[in-house]
A and B are shown apart, each in its own frame.
Chain A
Amino acid sequence: MKRLVIFSSTLLLTAAVFAFAALAQAWNISGKYNIAFSTNEASGIFKTFKGSIAFDEANLAASNFSVSVDVASINTGNALMNKHAKSDEWFDAAKYPEIKYTSKKIVKAGAGYQVTGDLEIRGVKKEFTIPFTFKRTGNGATFDGTFKVNRNDFHIGKPGGDVADMISVTVAVPVVKA
């Protein structure tokens, strides 16, 4: 009986140590983020962004992102363009209110990192890789990323037309330690 208690305690302690080591630093998204997009015809931002971020440069295997953008928070600076962007021809905000991204793997890539995960827009989920940098500043840090999304992959708008197929996206997300 005594052996069983000692064995169980040791096992629990070991598991706890490994569990602690396996957890990456959790970060809270600060309010001053910027999720911007631009094409040849339009540019704008998404004003509402939320999610959970766990990231540790020394423990990429345990790092993960699960974030979402509120489609209705799109702002191009023009009322007609906002209405058009939210319509069923483009983002269809009523039917698909969120753009979601959930990471599956994060790797070091040059001076920065690359996260591969599932990007879901307009109900279409595709594996998508985003390059980003991570800079620590005191108790906080900032994630920066720039990438292009082919809108046709997610059935955003009609193919061709005045708006280019490739949409440039810039993400700057300041975070603080949770």
Chain B
Amino acid sequence: MLKKLSLLALLAVLVGGLSGVAGIVYQKVYIETVGEGFVNIASTANIFKYTLAGAFVAAIGYFLLSLVLKGKTEMVFNLLFVILTFASILGPIGAKLPLEQDMPELFPGLAVPMHFFPALGWFALKPLFGKSI
């Protein structure tokens, strides 16, 4: 149990960190492409804060589901993770930015893809842990 929790925590850190790096790289590309990166809102600290939080919530959810579903955890968790990730894009679409921020219409284009990074990171890294989790 303790080993499983430790590995899940490690997976969460890796997924969160990787997603954060992916988010920052995407932000740089976005700035180069459209000239706006919303760096005051999607700051480096905020990107890492949210990707790590997302990964840890996923890890906790995975652990709790595994207690109940045993062998079917993977299937249900992956489905839930995808559904919740899609639902989360309503956040940046409905976000009300500070009024001094120009071009709020470009914000979803930056933030929506970032919402998929933790799920992508999870699906990429989880298999590396094999049956240990």
Binding site for B on A (CB under 8 A): 36, 44-45, 75-83
Closest residue to A79 on the B side, CB-wise? B105
A77 x B105 contact (CB < 8 A): no
Known contacts A78-B94, A80-B93: does B99 contact A44 (CB below 8 Å)?
A: yes
Interface residues on B, range: 10 to 19
Closest residue to A76 on the B side, CB-wise? B96
Contacting residues, chain A, for B97 (C-beta < 8 A): 77-78
Bound complex: CA of A82 vs CA of B94, how far in Å? 12
A83 x B99 contact (CB < 8 A): no
B107 x A79 contact (CB < 8 A): yes
What are some 16 contacts across the A-B interface (CB < 8 A)? A44-B99, A45-B99, A75-B99, A76-B96, A76-B99, A77-B95, A77-B97, A77-B99, A77-B101, A77-B104, A78-B95, A78-B96, A78-B97, A79-B106, A80-B94, A82-B105
A76-B96, A79-B106 known; 11 other A-B pairs, CB under 8 Å?
A: A75-B99, A75-B102, A75-B104, A77-B96, A77-B98, A77-B104, A78-B96, A79-B104, A81-B96, A82-B105, A83-B105
Number of interchain pairs (Cβ within 8 Å): 33
**Bitwise interface map of B from 38 to 74 toward A, beta carbon under 8 Å scored 1, else 0:** 0000000000000000000000000000000000000
Q: Tell which of A44, A78, A81 has the most Cβ of chain B within 10 Å.
A: A78
Bound complex: CA of A81 vs CA of B93, how far in Å? 10
Residues of B86-122 whose CB lies within 8 A of A:
93-99, 101-102, 104-108
Contacting residues, chain A, for B101 (C-beta < 8 A): 75, 77
B108 x A79 contact (CB < 8 A): yes
Closest residue to B107 on the A side, CB-wise? A79
Bound complex: CA of A81 vs CA of B99, how far in Å? 12
Closest residue to B109 on the A side, CB-wise? A79
